[in-house]
Each structure stands twice: as structure tokens, then as C-alpha cells.
Amino acid sequence: MGEISPGAATDRLGYYFQKEKWRLAVITATGLFYNLGLAAVPWFEGQMVQYLCDILGGRRAAAEMVRMAACYLLAVLAIQGARYGKRLYVRRFANQTGRRMKLAIYENLLWQRGGEAAEAGDMMTRVLSDADACAEGMRKCTTEVFDTGVVMAAYLGLLLSYDVRLTLLVMLFPPAACLLAERLKTVVTRNVARSRESSARLSGAVLERITNALTYRIHGREAGRDDELETLLDRHERLAVRANIWENSMQPIYQVISMVGAGMILWQGGRNVLGGGWAVWDVAAFTAYFSCYRKLAVKASKAAKLFNAVQKAKVSWKRIQPWLHPVAAEECLPLLPAGVLSAEGLTFAYDGRDPVFSDAALTARPGEIVGITGPVACGKTTLGRIFTGEAVQQGRVRLGTAELTGDPAACARAVGYLGHQPELFSGTIEENICMGQPGDVWPVLRAVCLDGEVAGLPQGIHTTVGSGGVRLSGGQQARLALARTLYHRRPVLVLDDPFSAVDPDTEARIFENLRRDLGDGILLLISHRLALFPQTDRVVWMDGGRVTEGTHQALAEGQPAYRQLWQAQQKGGVCHETR
């Protein structure tokens, strides 16, 4: 329930209504009963007044009044029971719709490409606030179809049955309130959009302030940053108040316009009771007519307010619709077989800039380890991400006979990836490795030299690591993330600087284990530390947009920059890299 079906048109409103068709059927049945039943309430009220007058005039007995009151009570109980059922299922419809929207946005976030990521604050607003606003707008529309549309039609029918001409006259005013609300929709839309944008900026600024709190404190920038946040908060408050004023303050005006016809009813209805009007009424008819019109006018003013709520939902829908496009279903397909990894003609450039690298080529055979290195900002990480299908590329990548170019699903079946950040979640060590796939985690813990440390913990593999792995050291976080990558083994492993947080002895032991367990897999090792590169089968050197492939020995002899880097590190020089 609430899950996204493969190929679902999640960027179309009709999809969400279709998914909830059985709930909508219940809403329709209970809504019709409730709202058509409401039209009987004014009739009962009129009869009760008439019965009271007859009792006072000696024309009826009190027992008849009691029976009428009992019928009225039973009718109200039945109507309110239907109302409860309608409201319950309307709320469930809205909850499930909001959930589906958030799931669709989440899936798009998982598949988004690097250049398309939204600001954190804007994304938080879209996922939480905008999705909820859309679901709430759909809920109100669904509710008002019955609570306003059906009941107003029922009220109108009852009014016409009493006096056609008076009804046509007084019904000029409720539509005027609706027309005014419709004319103001542009103003409402503009102010709501500004409020949403301001909320996104404020959310992003607060998140950035919390994330970098220590940096601001060290550099004495806390006060300045707090002043900027205060400015954003003040601006958001003004825009939010303005949006709420246009959305809510017009409600009394709508109601006043709708109720203008009540004066005409008092005048012309009184003439009807006295026998000089357009129809012949008794006290019951006058009371029922006036009560019915009053209820209709209130409903009309709420319908006018509904237009504003719909405009607010439309603003949110436009913001999240680009993030609701259907995402290709991730099928549980088998891994691709091992084979030769070949890449040719790879080129990458940021918009409007010279290529970071161009016409890059790489070949790796089963069982080989290929080292990838180069100066700062030479494109090592980007080259590694190309094999995962994330980085936009020109060129071609194949594994054996399988084409990986432009096919994220094929890349997922072929390539395992470990980036700079461990990306651990607040679960246990075992949960962070398995990710829901059962099995024995100790072999991969031994492979990354983490088994002894985990065995020494009071709860072993069931130890909770905390948010982002905060309860582990930097080296332990890196090795745990590497263990997860090895546990979910793929024919090709791309490891981006996996040893930056471990000591040289541990690095050498892990590398030895990787070589031993590699089998017919392929390992692409991206690193600025070259201590292990003599043990690789081949090295890719990236510098100045050019990509050169060869053995460690050949590059040390033929590439002066590579030789200088190697010699500097051999002599104990420190190589820092900015990512």
C-alpha cells in the first residue's frame, strides 16, 4: 500500500486518484448519503417549528412533537455516521497520496545526476511541505465535491421547491462570492509562491548554519551568520503573513456577500407567509427556506475559499512535478558476467568550460588491479563515476559484450562503487554491511582488517554505529564502508581513495586481501597515495586533460610528473588533495 508501481505515471494527478479508486468509491457512497441527507435537516427544522406552533395553538399533541424529534435525532445520527466514514476515508486518501508523492520524489533523488541536485533547503521544502500541500489540496477538492457541490445542489433543489422566483433572485449572491475568489487566484498564487521560495532559502540557511557551526565559531563568524539568518527569518515571516492574509482574510467578505440574500428572504418570505407574496407559505416553509439558504450561503463562502486552497496546491504541484517523473523500475536481474572492461573516447567537461579530460581510454582484464592517479582536480573521481553511470559522458564503456554506456541498470549489475564519504546510516555494523541482504559479514570484515576490532566490541556486529558512523573512528568508518562494497560484490569494483584514513601497514594488508579475493573481478583503485601502485597490473595517469595508461615502471620512466610524485612520497613527502 502506497508503493510506486513500475512505470507508474507519478507526474500526473490522475495516477494518484486511480491508485485510491476503492477509497474514493467509499467516499462517494458516504459523501452522497451525508450531503443529500443534509438537505433534510432544514425540512426537519421547519417541521419542528410548525409542530411547536400547532401545539401552542392546540392543534397537535405533545406526543407528536416527541415522535418528530425522535425521527429528527435518528436522521441526524445516520447523517453524522456517514460524515464520519467520509472524513475518515478522505483523510486516508490524502495520507496515502502524500506518501506516494514523497516516495516518487525519493526515487528521483536516488537517480538524479550530479549536476541536477537541488539545494538542501529547497529539497526539504519540496519533499515535506510541497508534497503535503498537494495532498491537502487534493483532499479539500475531494471533500468539497460533496460538502459543497452535492449539498449545494440538494439545497438549491429544496429552495426551488418552495419558491422559484425568490430562489432565482437570492441565488445571485453566492456565485458572486465564488467569482471574486476566482478573480483573486493570481494574487494568491503569487504570494504563496514567494512564501514557498522564502521557506526553501530559510531551510537551506539553517541547515548550512548547523552543519558548519564549528567553522563559524573558530573564525568568529557566528554573529554575522546569525544576523543573516535573522534577516532571512524576518523576510520569510513577512511573506508568510502576506500569503496567509490573502488566503484566509477574504473568508468573512465571501460570507457577507453570500448572505446578502437573507434580507430579501426576510422581506419576501414574510409576504409569502402573510399570503401576499409569490408563493403561499406556512411557518414551517419559511423556517426551512431561511435555514436552507443560510446553510447554502455558508457552503458557497467555503467554496470560494476552496479556490484559494487549490491555487496554493497548484504552486506546490508545479514545484514538485519535475521530481515526480517516472523512474525506471530497478529489476532484480543477475549480475553481469566477468569480462574485459574497456573504455574509449571518454570526455567530460563542466558547462561552458574546457574538458577536464578528453578521449580517455582504459582497458582492464579479469583479475587485474588498475591504479588511477594524478594531480589535484585532474578528474580521477569523475572518471571513476563514469563507470557507475552517474557522470555525464561522451564515449563508450563495455564489460565483455555488455554495453554500459547510458544504461544505469546495466552499470548497477556490473559495477560496485565506494566514494570519498563512507555514507553510513544509524544502524548496526551488520545492517550497514548487509543493507537488507542476509549473509555472513565476517569474511568481509576480515578482508578489511576490521574483524578484531568488531569482535572486541560488547555487542560485536550488532553494535550501533550512530548517525553517519559517529561512534566509529575515521579509519573504522572507511573500512566498514569498504566491507559493505565487498559484501555486495560486482564484477568491477571502483574504490575512490579507500585507504586515506588508514595507516600504511593496514593499507598493505587490505590490499593483499583484495588481491587474494579478487578472482576474475576487476579493481579500479583511485588514489593519490602511490605506495601500492608498483603492485598493480597497470596505472592510469591523468594530468592536464590527458590520460596515459601503462605499468608503474613505464610511467615512472616516461612521465616526469608521475616520477616526481612517486619519488616525493618515497622520501616521506606528504601529498594533500582537495576534493
Cell of 368: 587485474
Contact in structure between 500 and 478 (CB atoms under 8 Å): yes
What pLDDT shows up at residue 270? 83
- If you write DSSP's letter for every residue of 36-96 in order, what string do you get? HHHTHHHHHHHHHHHHHHHHHTTSS-HHHHHHHHHHHHHHHHHHHHHHHHHHHHHHHHHHH
Q: Where are the domains of the chain?
A: 13-179+254-323, 185-249, 341-570
> Looking at the DSSP assignment, which residues form a beta bridge with residue 418?
495
Of 57-61, 82-86, 125-129, 412-416, the one with minimum mean pLDDT is: 125-129
pTM of full prediction above 0.75? no
Per-residue cell: 265: 428572504
Q: What is the mean pLDDT of the chain?
A: 82
Decide which of 3.40.190.10, 1.10.287.130, 1.20.1560.10, 3.90.1150.170 is the CATH code for 13-179+254-323: 1.20.1560.10
Question: Which of the four pLDDT bands, split at 50, 70 and 90, describes residue 574?
Answer: very low
- In tens, the pLDDT along 124-176 reads 656 667 788 888 888 877 777 766 777 778 888 888 888 888 888 888 877 77
- pLDDT tens, residue by residue, 341-364: 999 988 888 776 788 888 888 899
Provide the β-strand partners of residue 494.
417, 524
The H-or-E segment that residue 525 falls in is strand 522-526
CATH class for the region spanning 341-570: alpha beta
Residue 185: what pLDDT? Answer: 65
Range with top average pLDDT, 211-215, 405-409, 504-508: 504-508
Return the bridge partners of 415, or none. Answer: 492
Rounded CA-CA distance 92/86 in Å is 10
- The CA R_g of the chain, rounded to the nearest whole Å, is 35
Under the banding of pLDDT at 50, 70 and 90, the label for residue 115 is very low
Classify residue 147 by its DSSP letter. I
Q: 52: pLDDT confidence band, cut at 50, 70 and 90?
A: confident
CA separation, residue 367 to residues 155, 515, 522, 538 (Å): 80, 8, 6, 12
In total, the chain counts a number of residues equal to 579
Give the per-residue pLDDT at 304.
Answer: 58
- C-alpha to C-alpha distance for 469 and 454, rounded to whole angstroms: 14
pLDDT value of position 191: 78
Grade residue 182 by pLDDT with cuts at 50, 70 and 90: low
Mean pLDDT over 525-535 rounds to: 91
pLDDT (tens digit, 9 = 90+) per residue, 361-394?
889 999 999 999 998 888 898 888 888 887 767 8
User: Residue 558: in which H helix or E strand, if any?
Assistant: helix 552-558
